């Protein structure tokens, strides 16, 4: 590798990995508690660094939804610390023996959960990811190399500085976490090729970032997905419930991957439901882009294009497609979704179960908001990302997703014949 800076970070992480693997749960929990305490204690430093990033974001006309992701507040810093404390309370998966059976020759064969080793994470303007990524990797005995986006570089540098100092102060290697401070895209591309040092790479961010990582990386990638999340309002849906859920899924936070971006509405309920929907979303200034049928029932709805049905807006915009039947709804969703989170609002038990079975996504809901697809909500303490692929991990990735297994075999002198 020509980049000596990256090579040094890689070597340090590789050296730290076995040290972290050997840490017992008590020591790991002490590290998490120390970092959580330090983040809150030094919150003014973090906010000052974040203020620089926010000022730059405004100067660069960053989208409102992305500014929301970038912004740190006292509450959000306390939330980062609380996430680390929740990890302390969770069981340590490392060392868990998953089944043990006796073979005919007397060998006892089982599997044991172990760390991945060195985890690389590339992410954009979300400084809170820094603490989540550290916490999950640290609890699972992994070293982590972070590559944050340039928009959040000041915030991220300060958070990593605090983490490293906190670990060092209690006798734990500070190389448990490292930050690539060079924000050049060329450096990011070089990082993607550090197979000698990094065991797995996890991108978190825009579709462009994820696509670039998957196409350029020489390191195995866990693909975390963009979220074109749908809500299907079935003909038997409770209209008030549907409107309340859609309002929450679309407007609570627009810049997150589990926000609803697309609606599918059964034609038999469209005439009554669409005016209710418009009344719910109009006060939030949500632009509704719909097909010809939906536009018949409200002048507020503007025409949708084919591109709209597959788009993650991360904005106050939502698409609407009316369908003739359940099968058409499922086909539309499976065609345009990003395999993230999908929901049906229905009173039909059979349709609810069919939706759970037939929709291809990491998280599938009945009568609930897609906003629940989140590591905190699923009881993981935090998440490293939401995997939309099907190998190794799928959905919100907590502690177990950052482990692999090894076979362990006990014998008493057996030799193979």
Least confident of 29-33, 247-251, 317-321, 338-342: 338-342
Is residue 1 over pLDDT 60?
no
Q: What would the mean pLDDT of 189-202 be, rounded to a whole number?
A: 94
Contact between 361 and 339 under an 8 Å Cβ cutoff? The reply is yes
Q: pLDDT digit string (tens) for 101-118? A: 999 999 999 999 999 999
Whole-number percent of the chain with pLDDT over 90: 78
Least confident of 72-76, 102-106, 150-154, 389-393: 389-393
List, in sequence order, the alpha helices (H) in 72-117.
74-89
Is residue 205 over pLDDT 80?
no
Is residue 282 over pLDDT 50?
yes
Instruction: Give the fold, CATH level 3, of 229-372.
Output: Aldehyde Dehydrogenase; Chain A, domain 2 (3.40.309)
Cα separation, 335 vs 330, whole angstroms: 8
Q: Which of 62-71, 92-101, 396-405 has the highest mean pLDDT?
A: 92-101
Domain boundaries, the chain: 4-224+397-410, 229-372
Q: Which of 78-87, 126-135, 273-282, 369-378 has the highest mean pLDDT?
A: 273-282
Q: pLDDT digit string (tens) for 227-273? A: 899 999 999 999 999 999 999 999 998 888 899 999 999 999 999 99
CATH class of 4-224+397-410: alpha beta
- With cut-offs at 50, 70 and 90, classify the pLDDT of residue 92: very high
- With cut-offs at 50, 70 and 90, classify the pLDDT of residue 2: low
| The pLDDT value given to residue 381 | 65
Contact between 110 and 101 under an 8 Å Cβ cutoff? The reply is yes
Cα separation, 142 vs 92, whole angstroms: 13
Residues belonging to the chain: 417
Q: What would the mean pLDDT of 136-151 be, rounded to a whole number?
A: 95
What percent helix, strand, coil does the chain show, rounded to 5? 45, 20, 35
List, in sequence order, the alpha helices (H) in 179-295.
185-191, 207-216, 239-251, 267-281, 292-295
Contact between 148 and 127 under an 8 Å Cβ cutoff? The reply is yes
Task: Map 123-161 to HEC letters.
Answer: ECCCCHHHHHHHHHHHHCCCEEEEECCHHHHHHHHHHHH
Q: pLDDT digit string (tens) for 370-411? A: 999 987 788 776 677 788 777 778 888 889 889 999 999 999
Cα separation, 385 vs 225, whole angstroms: 8
Q: What would the mean pLDDT of 60-74 be, rounded to a whole number?
A: 88
Cα separation, 259 vs 126, whole angstroms: 16
């Amino acid at each position: 590798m020509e980049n000596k800076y990256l090579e040094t970070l890689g070597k340090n992480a590789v050296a730290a990995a076995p040290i972290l693997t050997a840490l017992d749960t008590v020591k790991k929990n002490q590290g998490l508690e120390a970092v959580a305490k330090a983040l809150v204690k030094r919150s003014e430093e973090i906010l000052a660094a974040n203020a620089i990033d926010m000022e730059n974001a405004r100067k660069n006309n960053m989208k409102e939804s992305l500014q929301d992701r970038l912004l740190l507040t006292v509450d959000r810093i306390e939330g980062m610390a609380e996430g680390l404390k929740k990890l302390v309370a969770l069981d340590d998966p490392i060392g868990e023996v998953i089944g043990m059976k006796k073979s005919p020759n007397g060998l006892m064969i089982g599997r044991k959960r172990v760390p991945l080793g060195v985890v690389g994470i590339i992410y954009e303007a979300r400084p809170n990811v820094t603490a989540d990524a550290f916490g999950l990797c640290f609890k699972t005995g992994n070293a982590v190399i972070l590559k944050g986006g340039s928009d959040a570089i000041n915030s991220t540098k300060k958070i990593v500085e605090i983490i490293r100092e906190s670990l060092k102060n209690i006798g734990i290697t500070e190389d448990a976490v490292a930050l690539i401070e060079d924000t050049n895209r060329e450096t990011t591309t070089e990082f993607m090729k550090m197979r000698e040092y990094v065991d797995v790479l996890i991108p978190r961010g825009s579709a462009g970032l994820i696509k670039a990582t998957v196409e350029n990386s020489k390191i195995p990638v866990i693909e975390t997905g963009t979220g074109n999340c749908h809500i299907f309002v079935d003909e038997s849906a409770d209209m008030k419930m549907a409107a309340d859920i859609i309002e929450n899924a679309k407007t609570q936070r627009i810049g997150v991957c589990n926000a609803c971006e697309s609606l599918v509405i059964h034609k038999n309920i469209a005439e009554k439901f669409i005016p209710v929907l418009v009344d719910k979303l109009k006060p939030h200034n949500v632009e509704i882009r719909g097909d010809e049928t939906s536009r018949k029932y409200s002048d507020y709805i503007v025409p949708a294009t084919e591109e709209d049905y597959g788009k993650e807006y991360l904005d106050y915009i939502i698409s609407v497609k009316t369908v003739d039947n359940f099968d058409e709804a499922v086909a539309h969703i499976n065609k345009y979704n990003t395999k993230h989170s999908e929901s049906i609002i229905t009173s039909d038990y059979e349709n609810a179960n069919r939706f759970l079975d037939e929709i291809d996504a990491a998280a599938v809901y009945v009568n609930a908001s897609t906003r629940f697809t989140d590591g905190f909500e699923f009881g993981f303490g935090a998440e490293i990302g939401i995997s939309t692929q099907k190998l190794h991990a799928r959905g919100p990735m907590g502690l177990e997703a950052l482990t692999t297994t090894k076979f362990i075999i006990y014998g008493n002198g057996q030799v193979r014949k």
